Amino acid sequence: MNRSPAASEHVLVERDGPVAVVRLNRPDKLNAFDAGMAFAIPAAIEAAGSGEGTRAVVVTGEGRGFCAGADIDVLDELVVQRDEKGLAQLLEAGERVNHVIRALEVPVIAAINGPAAGGGANLALACDLRIMAESASIGQSFTRIGLHPDWGGTYLLPRLVGVARALELMWSGRMVAADEALRIGLVHRLAPLERFHEEALAWARQIAAGPPVAVARIKRAIYDSLDADLDAMLAVELAHQLDCFRSEDCARGLFAFRGKETPRFEGS
- The CATH number of 2-208, from 3.30.230.70, 3.40.50.2300, 3.20.20.10, 3.90.226.10, is 3.90.226.10
In angstroms, rounded to a whole number, what is the distance separating the alpha carbons of residues 68 and 76?
15
Within 10 A of 152 (CB to CB), how many other CB atoms are there?
Answer: 21
The answer to whether residue 100 scores a pLDDT higher than 60 is yes
User: What's the pTM value of the predicted model, to 2 decimals?
Assistant: 0.94
pLDDT score for 5: 44
Q: Tell me which residue of 154, 30, 47, 143 sits closest to 91, measured CA to CA.
A: 154
- Read off the pLDDT of residues 174-199 as tens digits, 9 standing for 90 and up: 999 999 999 999 999 999 999 999 99
In angstroms, rounded to a whole number, what is the distance separating the alpha carbons of residues 21 and 18?
10
Q: Give every strand in the sheet of 175-177, ordered side by side.
A: 116-117, 137-139, 175-177
- Read off the pLDDT of residues 194-238 as tens digits, 9 standing for 90 and up: 999 999 999 999 999 999 999 999 999 999 999 999 999 999 999
pLDDT score for 6: 45
Q: What are phi and psi of 187, to 5 degrees?
A: -130, 165
- Read off the pLDDT of residues 118-128 as tens digits, 9 standing for 90 and up: 999 999 999 99
Element (H, E) at 110: strand 108-112
C-alpha pair distances (Å), 163 with each of 82, 157, 166? 32, 8, 5
Residue spans of the domains in the chain: they are 2-208, 212-258
Say which CATH architecture domain 212-258 belongs to: Orthogonal Bundle (1.10)
In angstroms, rounded to a whole number, what is the distance separating the alpha carbons of residues 6 and 146?
34
| DSSP tag of 52 | T
